[in-house]
Amino acid sequence: MDLASHYTNLFTESCEKISNDNYVIDTQIDNLNDNRLGITLLIRPTEEIKNSIQLFLNELKKVDASQYYYPNSDIHITVMSIISCYEGFDINNITLQDYIAVINKCISGLNKSVIKLQGITASPSAIMIQGFPSDTSINDLRDNLRTAFKQTTLEQSIDQRYSLFTTHLTVLRFKNPINNKDLFLKLLHKYRDYNFGKFEIKKLELVHNDWYQRVNLVKHLFDFNIK
Protein backbone atom coordinates (compact mmCIF):
# COMPACT_ATOMS: atom_id res chain seq x y z
CA MET A 1 0.00 0.00 0.00
CA ASP A 2 1.32 3.45 -0.88
CA LEU A 3 1.84 6.04 1.82
CA ALA A 4 -1.06 8.33 0.85
CA SER A 5 -3.53 5.43 0.86
CA HIS A 6 -2.22 4.24 4.21
CA TYR A 7 -2.71 7.69 5.75
CA THR A 8 -6.20 7.95 4.22
CA ASN A 9 -7.28 4.57 5.55
CA LEU A 10 -5.95 5.47 9.00
CA PHE A 11 -7.83 8.77 8.97
CA THR A 12 -11.12 7.25 7.82
CA GLU A 13 -11.02 4.36 10.29
CA SER A 14 -9.90 6.53 13.21
CA CYS A 15 -12.50 9.26 12.62
CA GLU A 16 -15.16 6.57 12.64
CA LYS A 17 -13.84 5.26 15.94
CA ILE A 18 -13.76 8.76 17.40
CA SER A 19 -17.32 9.34 16.23
CA ASN A 20 -18.41 6.10 17.91
CA ASP A 21 -16.42 6.76 21.12
CA ASN A 22 -14.09 3.85 20.38
CA TYR A 23 -10.92 5.91 20.61
CA VAL A 24 -8.13 5.12 23.09
CA ILE A 25 -7.32 7.33 26.08
CA ASP A 26 -3.70 7.26 27.24
CA THR A 27 -3.76 6.91 31.01
CA GLN A 28 0.01 7.17 31.44
CA ILE A 29 0.61 10.72 30.22
CA ASP A 30 0.16 12.35 33.63
CA ASN A 31 1.67 9.47 35.60
CA LEU A 32 4.66 10.95 37.44
CA ASN A 33 5.92 7.42 38.14
CA ASP A 34 6.08 6.46 34.47
CA ASN A 35 9.72 5.46 33.95
CA ARG A 36 9.52 3.87 30.50
CA LEU A 37 12.71 4.83 28.69
CA GLY A 38 14.51 3.84 25.51
CA ILE A 39 16.71 4.98 22.63
CA THR A 40 15.39 6.53 19.42
CA LEU A 41 16.85 7.77 16.14
CA LEU A 42 14.77 10.74 15.02
CA ILE A 43 14.41 13.77 12.76
CA ARG A 44 13.27 17.20 13.92
CA PRO A 45 11.47 19.57 11.52
CA THR A 46 12.32 23.25 11.27
CA GLU A 47 10.97 25.83 13.72
CA GLU A 48 8.94 27.35 10.89
CA ILE A 49 7.12 24.08 10.33
CA LYS A 50 6.62 23.50 14.04
CA ASN A 51 5.08 26.96 14.34
CA SER A 52 2.75 26.11 11.46
CA ILE A 53 1.71 22.96 13.31
CA GLN A 54 1.02 24.99 16.47
CA LEU A 55 -1.51 27.13 14.55
CA PHE A 56 -3.45 23.93 13.87
CA LEU A 57 -3.10 22.77 17.46
CA ASN A 58 -4.25 26.14 18.77
CA GLU A 59 -7.49 25.74 16.83
CA LEU A 60 -7.98 22.29 18.33
CA LYS A 61 -7.30 23.66 21.82
CA LYS A 62 -10.16 26.14 21.39
CA VAL A 63 -12.45 23.16 20.83
CA ASP A 64 -10.93 20.86 23.46
CA ALA A 65 -8.03 22.00 25.63
CA SER A 66 -8.11 18.86 27.77
CA GLN A 67 -5.99 16.68 25.48
CA TYR A 68 -2.20 16.27 25.40
CA TYR A 69 -0.69 18.69 22.89
CA TYR A 70 2.95 18.41 21.85
CA PRO A 71 5.03 21.56 22.31
CA ASN A 72 7.52 22.52 19.59
CA SER A 73 10.40 21.06 21.60
CA ASP A 74 8.92 17.55 21.46
CA ILE A 75 7.71 17.34 17.84
CA HIS A 76 9.70 14.81 15.82
CA ILE A 77 9.68 12.08 13.20
CA THR A 78 10.79 8.68 14.46
CA VAL A 79 13.25 7.06 12.08
CA MET A 80 13.64 4.00 14.29
CA SER A 81 13.02 3.05 17.90
CA ILE A 82 16.30 1.24 18.50
CA ILE A 83 15.24 0.28 22.02
CA SER A 84 11.52 0.85 22.53
CA CYS A 85 10.67 2.41 25.85
CA TYR A 86 10.21 0.01 28.74
CA GLU A 87 10.28 0.22 32.52
CA GLY A 88 13.69 -0.28 34.01
CA PHE A 89 15.82 0.47 30.94
CA ASP A 90 19.20 1.80 32.12
CA ILE A 91 21.39 3.46 29.50
CA ASN A 92 24.42 2.74 31.67
CA ASN A 93 23.97 -0.94 30.85
CA ILE A 94 24.73 -0.48 27.15
CA THR A 95 27.84 0.70 25.29
CA LEU A 96 26.65 3.77 23.45
CA GLN A 97 29.61 3.89 21.04
CA ASP A 98 28.65 0.46 19.66
CA TYR A 99 25.22 1.79 18.71
CA ILE A 100 26.68 4.93 17.16
CA ALA A 101 29.10 2.80 15.10
CA VAL A 102 26.28 0.62 13.70
CA ILE A 103 24.14 3.65 12.82
CA ASN A 104 27.10 5.43 11.22
CA LYS A 105 27.65 2.51 8.86
CA CYS A 106 23.96 2.44 7.92
CA ILE A 107 23.71 6.18 7.41
CA SER A 108 26.61 6.32 4.95
CA GLY A 109 25.34 7.51 1.57
CA LEU A 110 22.00 8.77 2.90
CA ASN A 111 20.62 11.57 0.71
CA LYS A 112 19.51 14.95 1.97
CA SER A 113 15.87 14.04 1.40
CA VAL A 114 13.07 16.58 1.59
CA ILE A 115 10.00 15.76 3.67
CA LYS A 116 6.75 17.45 2.73
CA LEU A 117 4.22 17.78 5.55
CA GLN A 118 0.86 17.73 3.85
CA GLY A 119 -2.37 17.15 5.72
CA ILE A 120 -3.24 15.26 8.86
CA THR A 121 -4.20 11.72 9.73
CA ALA A 122 -5.17 9.99 12.96
CA SER A 123 -4.99 6.80 14.96
CA PRO A 124 -7.46 5.66 17.63
CA SER A 125 -5.21 7.36 20.21
CA ALA A 126 -3.57 10.33 18.47
CA ILE A 127 -3.59 13.01 15.78
CA MET A 128 -0.65 13.10 13.38
CA ILE A 129 0.80 15.28 10.63
CA GLN A 130 1.36 13.38 7.38
CA GLY A 131 4.95 13.29 6.12
CA PHE A 132 5.87 12.48 2.52
CA PRO A 133 9.59 11.97 1.81
CA SER A 134 10.99 12.95 -1.60
CA ASP A 135 12.72 9.59 -2.07
CA THR A 136 13.17 6.18 -0.43
CA SER A 137 16.23 7.16 1.63
CA ILE A 138 14.55 6.99 5.05
CA ASN A 139 12.99 3.58 4.47
CA ASP A 140 16.24 2.34 2.92
CA LEU A 141 17.99 3.46 6.10
CA ARG A 142 15.37 1.67 8.21
CA ASP A 143 15.98 -1.55 6.27
CA ASN A 144 19.74 -1.15 6.73
CA LEU A 145 19.28 -0.62 10.46
CA ARG A 146 17.06 -3.70 10.76
CA THR A 147 19.66 -5.84 9.01
CA ALA A 148 22.67 -4.37 10.80
CA PHE A 149 21.31 -4.63 14.33
CA LYS A 150 20.11 -8.19 13.80
CA GLN A 151 23.71 -9.09 12.98
CA THR A 152 24.89 -7.85 16.38
CA THR A 153 24.33 -8.96 19.96
CA LEU A 154 23.37 -5.44 21.03
CA GLU A 155 20.14 -4.96 22.91
CA GLN A 156 17.46 -3.75 20.49
CA SER A 157 13.73 -4.06 19.95
CA ILE A 158 13.37 -2.91 16.34
CA ASP A 159 9.93 -3.68 14.86
CA GLN A 160 8.71 -5.46 17.99
CA ARG A 161 5.73 -3.09 18.26
CA TYR A 162 5.18 -2.62 14.51
CA SER A 163 7.22 -2.21 11.34
CA LEU A 164 7.62 1.52 10.79
CA PHE A 165 7.43 2.87 7.24
CA THR A 166 5.68 6.24 7.63
CA THR A 167 7.24 9.66 8.29
CA HIS A 168 4.46 11.10 10.44
CA LEU A 169 4.64 13.47 13.39
CA THR A 170 2.42 12.79 16.39
CA VAL A 171 1.14 16.12 17.71
CA LEU A 172 -1.79 15.23 19.99
CA ARG A 173 -2.68 12.29 22.21
CA PHE A 174 -6.05 11.67 23.80
CA LYS A 175 -5.86 11.76 27.58
CA ASN A 176 -9.51 12.61 28.30
CA PRO A 177 -12.91 12.01 26.69
CA ILE A 178 -13.18 14.38 23.72
CA ASN A 179 -15.22 17.53 24.30
CA ASN A 180 -17.31 18.93 21.43
CA LYS A 181 -16.65 15.79 19.41
CA ASP A 182 -18.53 16.91 16.29
CA LEU A 183 -16.68 20.21 16.16
CA PHE A 184 -13.40 18.40 16.86
CA LEU A 185 -13.97 16.07 13.89
CA LYS A 186 -15.01 18.99 11.68
CA LEU A 187 -11.70 20.69 12.43
CA LEU A 188 -9.76 17.52 11.61
CA HIS A 189 -11.44 17.42 8.21
CA LYS A 190 -10.64 21.11 7.69
CA TYR A 191 -6.92 20.35 8.03
CA ARG A 192 -7.04 17.00 6.21
CA ASP A 193 -4.99 18.35 3.26
CA TYR A 194 -3.42 21.43 4.83
CA ASN A 195 0.12 22.25 3.69
CA PHE A 196 2.37 22.60 6.75
CA GLY A 197 5.50 23.08 4.63
CA LYS A 198 8.57 21.05 3.74
CA PHE A 199 12.13 20.77 4.97
CA GLU A 200 15.43 19.16 4.05
CA ILE A 201 16.86 16.51 6.38
CA LYS A 202 20.27 17.79 7.43
CA LYS A 203 20.85 15.61 10.46
CA LEU A 204 19.45 12.76 12.50
CA GLU A 205 19.54 12.66 16.30
CA LEU A 206 20.06 9.73 18.63
CA VAL A 207 18.32 10.37 21.93
CA HIS A 208 17.61 8.68 25.25
CA ASN A 209 13.92 9.32 25.69
CA ASP A 210 10.68 8.71 27.52
CA TRP A 211 7.53 7.48 25.78
CA TYR A 212 6.41 10.97 24.74
CA GLN A 213 9.78 12.53 23.86
CA ARG A 214 9.29 15.24 26.50
CA VAL A 215 12.15 17.72 26.40
CA ASN A 216 12.73 17.65 30.18
CA LEU A 217 13.31 13.88 30.04
CA VAL A 218 15.11 13.53 26.69
CA LYS A 219 18.91 13.30 26.71
CA HIS A 220 20.68 14.08 23.47
CA LEU A 221 23.24 11.37 22.68
CA PHE A 222 24.64 12.00 19.20
CA ASP A 223 24.07 13.88 15.93
CA PHE A 224 24.49 12.20 12.55
CA ASN A 225 25.02 14.93 9.95
CA ILE A 226 23.86 14.21 6.39
CA LYS A 227 26.54 15.32 3.93
**pLDDT value for 203:** 95
Say if residue 199's pLDDT is above 90: yes
Q: How large is the angle between the packed helices 47-63 and 181-190, nearest 10 degrees?
A: 150
pLDDT digits (tens, 9 = 90+) for 95-116: 999 999 999 999 987 888 999 9
Separation between Cα atoms, residue 36 and residue 38, nearest integer Å:
7
| Total domains present in the chain | 1
CATH number at residue 146: 3.90.1140.10
**pLDDT value for 227:** 81
Separation between Cα atoms, residue 100 and residue 122, nearest integer Å:
33
pLDDT digits (tens, 9 = 90+) for 115-161: 999 999 999 999 999 999 999 999 999 999 999 999 999 999 886 66
pTM listed for this prediction:
0.95
Separation between Cα atoms, residue 128 and residue 178, nearest integer Å:
16
Domain range for 80 is: 3-225
pLDDT digits (tens, 9 = 90+) for 11-54: 999 999 999 999 999 999 999 999 999 999 999 999 999 999 99
Using only C-alpha atoms, the chain has a radius of gyration, in whole angstroms, of 18
